[in-house]
A and B are shown apart, each in its own frame.
Chain A
């Protein structure tokens, strides 16, 4: 049982946690002052110490440093005792699974030196270890943290570090900063405002450098914790990690460990995605949206398709340019916006995270990667959705993409833009191209929107399954779905473009063919939240932010997941699900 570590906030594999010692420690954090090492078993036999709640006790251990042959790792792996106080076990990535049987609160990777600087080995080892140990246990990478690498370590899933490496660097006259390492003798300015740096550079010695390095590491850790709390660690990493090649390689290689990151990435958040590099395209949020739009969503309109460029303002429909497109189109066509980094956004999903939650660097010019990405998504989208006509009302840089897709699909698009999409000539071309098409009504638009969001959120066909018969109330974007008898099933949440279900809606979901996400709980009636120890089992597919059905012998409820399914199932602490509606049974 991990009793002394709890995860409070999640942002990808990074977490803000709490080491629950007598004075609790917010992680990711330094553990220098709270570690009590019971010693190595290599030189001698050790007693399992009595331990206490003020420190994290490193249980008697046998470190397996980098290069230890496999048979030696196996033969010398330690069986850790199950103790009643906060404890940590020293492991190698492949001994972590066995070691976790004792349920210690933290795990120390003893080959950290082998991993730092080597992105491939680092990612493999951290992913392997993280997956072998419980989600609510802390991972400690000893002797390697610097102000420059600590954000990436945390992003990968490391919770605990120490000042040892930063201090050693200080003794060697290496001045550490989030942007890397300086030779002390090369510095004309001290680029820091910490107390140690408040003196002339000529008086600044190696001891000061040690102090500064520790201060800089502390500040970097505080930044990491704040970034995780605000759901913006990835945005930070994409910029900050660029100062060192291996760190950039780490986050790119983690993107290739899609399953690891996807499981840990929330399906919605308040924070914006900052799209300032091609790396943004590989983010889970972006890939997931593209996957769902081209795999779950389908267009229910019979009208032609009009492809338009995205707008800076979101949702798009509130922008001036889209207002002009709308005036020309007049509900005679289905509107899909083309955008980097999202790909394509059908009009029904313009609110859905992250379609209105990103901020791109607009230059009027797309990189080859962006062009390829949007073309691939558009192609997949058009293979799945059959339109009588495709009208491309796009400027030159988008037209290139359209032509590429035309070629691949062997069909002709109609182009309506002269110069720029909002010129009078372009808009009148658009209007006249569509003048003979029929308009769709408000009811069709609202129904299609709710069903499209349901498809996106719950799976292919969910919109028809959950909303078999549908009556819509209120106005866009605050749409409410009712059944034929007037009972409310769901409401559209305008901030995230997702549905929140009522108990009746949850029952429809269970009855439909769409895959459900169930949390099975013990015999209690949850109010407000379900805590992890109350969870008996949870579907693997559940992600943070997902709508979930909660069922137990005495309760039926619907709510929103605060942990992934696997994390709910294996955690012994923390809020698993926020409950919105519950009924006893």
Chain B
């Protein structure tokens, strides 16, 4: 059974514990942010159902995810990048958008065809982004081809999506599904919704003429390397089977500040996934009827997905290449001595003996 929002979710013992621990961990952060500054903005390239696009990617500073304030997901440090306390005013949010446009004008010849807007939570949650602001932002980008907005599935409804589709924008909703396995999402990630809710959001988005992009997390805490790969492979195939979900973005977990994952990492209880695992999953799911991409953040560092240090850049390049071409043969051209170490870890590591190699 699916649950509509964090407030009414029947909180189990495990979730209580996760939330309590995460609240304590998050309380260690001491930085606050200017509500008129976006969290981050950058330009990149994306493979979309309509081909490869230049993207303007924006992380709006919205006052943070309400789920994170309750404790929230074990790997997510975004709340630490939100303004102190409550909501950000409409005017301030529009100032942030203006700053992003300036960035684009300064760094690109032409406006990007696609705009991606993330928040530290849900763009479609009206307590984060009021309806007035949502419409104003839709208006601001009405001249683009495509827009992607991030939201938890409970906030996805036809009316909100229409604000974009009505302006002729090809619209995608990016949902942080993390995994198709409810148990992993609940117990390892501590995210409160269920796969059925994702399916409902996909159906609604489809009816409103929008698509869904699933964000999956490779290697949440408490899973061994092989368990994480198996869960990811299964999740990609399940997402491929959801009508309206045309893209999966696989995010290899990285170690963010003030998270449970960081505590585990510091105590030798967690290692981010190997880049070989990313490559292996991409290769083995290339036949799935869905675009699968991955943009390993912090690759090659201890806190990000990494191999031995020698081959990280080469494997990362192959992954980026795959993102654009969806061609599994790209991985045949990279090899390194550390593949044998990775194979040994995949074969031998158990959740009770991890991490078997750093």
Contact = CB atoms under 8 A, between A and B. Distances in A.
Interface of A: 37, 40, 42-45, 58, 61-63, 65-72, 74-76, 90, 108, 110-114, 142-144, 162, 164-165, 167-168, 171-173, 206
B341 A168 contact: yes
B21 interface: yes
Contact of B263 (A40, A58, A69, A167): A69
Contact of B356 (A43, A75, A164): A164
B27 to A, nearest CB: 13
6 A-B pairs with the lowest CB-CB distances in the bound complex, closest first: A65-B269, A67-B267, A143-B353, A75-B17, A66-B267, A66-B269
A67 B265 contact: yes
A113 B268 contact: yes
Contacts of A65: 221-222, 264, 267-270, 351-352, 354
17 contacts: A42-B227, A43-B183, A58-B352, A62-B351, A63-B222, A65-B352, A65-B354, A66-B269, A67-B260, A69-B21, A69-B25, A74-B17, A113-B268, A142-B350, A165-B356, A168-B348, A168-B357
B288 interface: no
Contacts of B340: 171, 206
Given A42-B188, A63-B222, A65-B222, A110 B267 contact: no
A171 B341 CA distance: 5
B313 interface: no
B116 interface: no
Nearest to A207: B340
Contacts of B268: 65-67, 113-114
A526 to B, nearest CB: 41
B337 A63 contact: no
B46 interface: no
Interface string B31-74: 00000000000000000000000000000000000000000000
B327 interface: no
A71 to B, nearest CB: 4
B24 interface: yes
B89 interface: no
Given A65-B264, A69-B260, A143 B354 contact: yes
Contacts of B356: 143, 164-165, 168
Contact of A114 (B227, B269, B308, B349): B269
Contacts of A42: 183-184, 187-188, 222-223, 227, 351
Given A90-B352, A113-B354, A67 B344 contact: no
Given A67-B265, A76-B17, A143-B349, 20 more contacts: A42-B222, A65-B221, A65-B267, A65-B270, A66-B264, A66-B269, A67-B269, A69-B263, A72-B21, A72-B260, A74-B17, A110-B353, A112-B353, A113-B355, A114-B269, A143-B350, A143-B356, A168-B348, A171-B344, A172-B308
Contacts of A112: 353
B266 A168 contact: no
B187 A108 contact: no
B16 interface: yes
B187 to A, nearest CB: 6
A260 B356 CA distance: 30
A61 B352 contact: yes
Nearest to A163: B348
| B21, B184, B267, B357 — most chain A CB neighbours (10 Å) | B267
B339 to A, nearest CB: 9
B285 to A, nearest CB: 18
Interface residues of B, number: 47
B255 to A, nearest CB: 11
Contacts of B221: 65
Contacts of B266: 67
A71 B222 CA distance: 15
B357 A40 contact: no
Contact of B352 (A44, A63, A69, A168): A63
Contacts of B24: 69
Interface of B: 13-14, 16-18, 20-21, 24-25, 181, 183-184, 187-188, 221-224, 227, 230-231, 260, 263-270, 308, 337-338, 340-341, 344-345, 348-357
Nearest to A168: B357
B155 to A, nearest CB: 28
Contacts of A143: 348-350, 353-354, 356
Contacts of B355: 113
B232 to A, nearest CB: 11
A75 B14 contact: yes
Contact of B357 (A61, A67, A172): A172
A72 B351 contact: no
A28 B25 CA distance: 39
Contacts of B267: 65-67, 111, 114
Nearest to B25: A69
Contacts of B337: 171, 173, 206
Contacts of A110: 351-353
Nearest to B351: A63
| B187, B349, B353, B355 — most chain A CB neighbours (10 Å) | B353
Nearest to B24: A69
Contacts of B348: 143, 164, 167-168
A212 to B, nearest CB: 15
A143 B225 CA distance: 14
Contact of A71 (B20, B227, B345, B352): B20
A67 B263 contact: yes
B309 to A, nearest CB: 11
| A42, A45, A62 — most chain B CB neighbours (10 Å) | A42
Contacts of A66: 264, 267-269
Given A43-B184, A65-B264, A90-B352, A113 B357 contact: no
Contacts of A70: 21
Nearest to A69: B21
A70 B324 CA distance: 44
A53 to B, nearest CB: 22
A75 B349 CA distance: 24
A399 to B, nearest CB: 52
B264 A68 contact: yes
A71 B20 CA distance: 8
A70 B263 CA distance: 12
A118 to B, nearest CB: 9
A12 B181 CA distance: 47
B345 A168 contact: yes
Nearest to B19: A71
Contacts of B231: 43
A437 to B, nearest CB: 67
Nearest to A32: B348
Nearest to B269: A65
Contacts of B352: 40, 58, 61, 63, 65, 90, 108, 110, 142
Contact of A44 (B20, B181, B263): B181
A164 B183 contact: no
Contacts of B350: 37, 40, 63, 142-143
Contacts of B308: 172
B21 A40 contact: no
A167 B344 contact: yes
| A72, A90, A112, A173 — most chain B CB neighbours (10 Å) | A72
Contact of A75 (B13, B222, B338): B13
A62 B222 contact: yes
Contacts of A63: 222, 350-352, 354
A71 B353 contact: no
Contacts of B230: 43
